[in-house]
Amino acid sequence: MATTQIAFTPESQTAWRGIVAKAWADEKFKSRLMDNPNKTLAEAGLSIPKGVNFVVVENEPQRVYLVLPTRPEDELAVREMNHVESDYDPGF
Amino acid sequence: MQSNNSEKLIEIEWAQLTAETVVIATSERAWLRRLDAFDSDDPFAQPMRCVGSLATTRNLLDGAISAAQQIAREAVSPKGARPQLTEARWVWRLAGYYRTTHATPRLMAEAAERFAAAGRHALARYALEKVRDESGHDELALADLRALGYCAEAVVVELVPPTAEALVDYFARGVRAENPVGCVGYAYALERLAVTNGRDYIRQVEAALPAGVRATRCLRVHSAVSADAKHVEDALEVTAGLPAEDRRLVARACYETALIACSPPPGGHIAETALRHRVAALKPQPSTQTS
């Protein structure tokens, strides 16, 4: 499992929603957020993981960004499964 | 944005396994993914609503099991590594087999009643078929214990492996949940894991037992050389035809079942010396003739 990927938490989602609302209401804040995302997000209370650079873009009615989610590092073995490590042999 | 040609859609299924992780399956592969924190439009943070197919549902369920195995492996300390097979260890494993196989017919019958009462006839038929398929498998574990010279009934009372006990508790909770469909995931996970045991493993077990003793009946029935491979396909077929929310619950049950089955018990494995001491007391000694 990737350790650099940012954890999904209800708290970070709530914080991000607040930042979105503030950017809608405050053009100067929006400019700062788009020009210097890491600093502005940190000032707004978000914890910025080391080595991660945020890019903030804005959707418009005639220009919509589709974001490809981070490609998972872990492809799961679905053809050949390993024998389990537990002291139990599965019996249904 | 709308899709306008369902024939061109790429088949995909996904299910959230924990608060942060989701298993994503296509007909070719499966991934385990952490949800992105700030992407409110993350397509995999939303519950799936699409229909299933045999190929994608298979990878969804197998991916959920594989994710659990991966997490269980990462958690294994030297203390938690799978203990070496010995006769005493096999007695312990047979006690585990007994515990889970003994519970299956009773709990699946209960699930069948609940499915029938809810008008879910395909699931009720599946559950009743499981009652028929699995009845008597606990007797195989008892027969194996007797073949090893143990008082089988005493063994299964005295030895209660925590993993098997946790599995039965999980199964019972699933059957009595608001929607009991998780019991299909429990069955799929255990039968899918069982078919990872093939002839090599059966030979390893036999090599650990006294020569000439036939004490692998229960293992054979729960292995790649049995009908369990067909049972896996039966569960898959039933699941692929279920609504999306049910498939999500089945996938989650696969994950949670496999996590219990594949993880060492929280207190670590019972040590060989302690185990030998406990099983020795359960083997009747031949009476000595006195003149």
Is A14 touching B (CB cutoff 8 A)? no
pLDDT at B9 over 90: no
Q: What are the backbone dihedrals phi and psi of residue B31, each rounded to the nearest 5 degrees, phi first?
A: -125, 155
pLDDT digits (tens, 9 = 90+) for B167-200: 999 999 999 999 999 999 999 999 999 999 999 9
Mutate which: B17, B104, B168, B262, vs A, most A CBs within 10 A: B262
Give the pLDDT score at A3.
40
3-state class (DSSP) for residue B31? strand
* Token pair listed for B198: 């093939």
The residue that leads in pLDDT, B90 or B229, is B90
Q: What is the pLDDT of residue B290?
A: 53
How far is Cα B104 from Cα B254, in angstroms, rounded to an integer? 16
* CB-facing half-sphere around the CA of A26: CA atoms within 13 A: 11
Share of chain B above pLDDT 70, in %: 94
Question: Is the model's pLDDT at B20 over the cut of 90?
Answer: no
Give the pLDDT score at B278: 96
Q: CA of A33 to nearest chain B CA: how many angstroms apart?
A: 14
Residue A75: phi, psi to the nearest 5?
-85, 130
Chain B residue with CA closest to A64: the answer is B1
Q: Which two tokens stand for residue B165?
A: 């006990």
Q: Which two tokens stand for residue B179?
A: 């929607």
Task: Provide the percentage of residues in chain B whose pLDDT is more than 90.
Answer: 79
Residue B78: pLDDT over 70: no
The beta strand positions in B43-124, using DSSP E, are: none
**Residue B96: alpha-carbon gap to chain centroid:** 12
Round to whole Å and give the CA distance between A49 and A5.
9
Q: Which of residues 16-55 of B touch A (CB under 8 A)?
A: 19-21, 23-25, 29-45
Least confidently predicted of A83-92, B8-17, B144-153, B170-179: A83-92
**Number of A–B residue contacts, CB under 8 Å:** 168
Q: How far, in Å, CA of A74 to CA of B33, rounded?
A: 7
Summarised one tens digit per residue, pLDDT across range A13-61 is 788 889 999 999 999 999 999 999 999 999 998 888 889 899 999 999 9
| Over residues B276-283, mean pLDDT | 95
> What ipTM is given for this predicted complex?
0.82
Is the pLDDT assigned to residue B113 strictly greater than 80? yes
pTM summary value: 0.90
Mean pLDDT, chain B, whole residue set: 93
pLDDT of residue A1: 42
Residues of A in contact with B101 (CB under 8 A): 91-92
CA nearest B104: which of B2, B191, B223, B7? B191
Residue type, B284: P
Interface touch A86/B163, C-beta < 8 Å: yes
The partner residues of A63 in beta bridges, in order of sequence, read A60
Are A76 and B29 an interchain contact pair (Cβ–Cβ within 8 Å)? yes
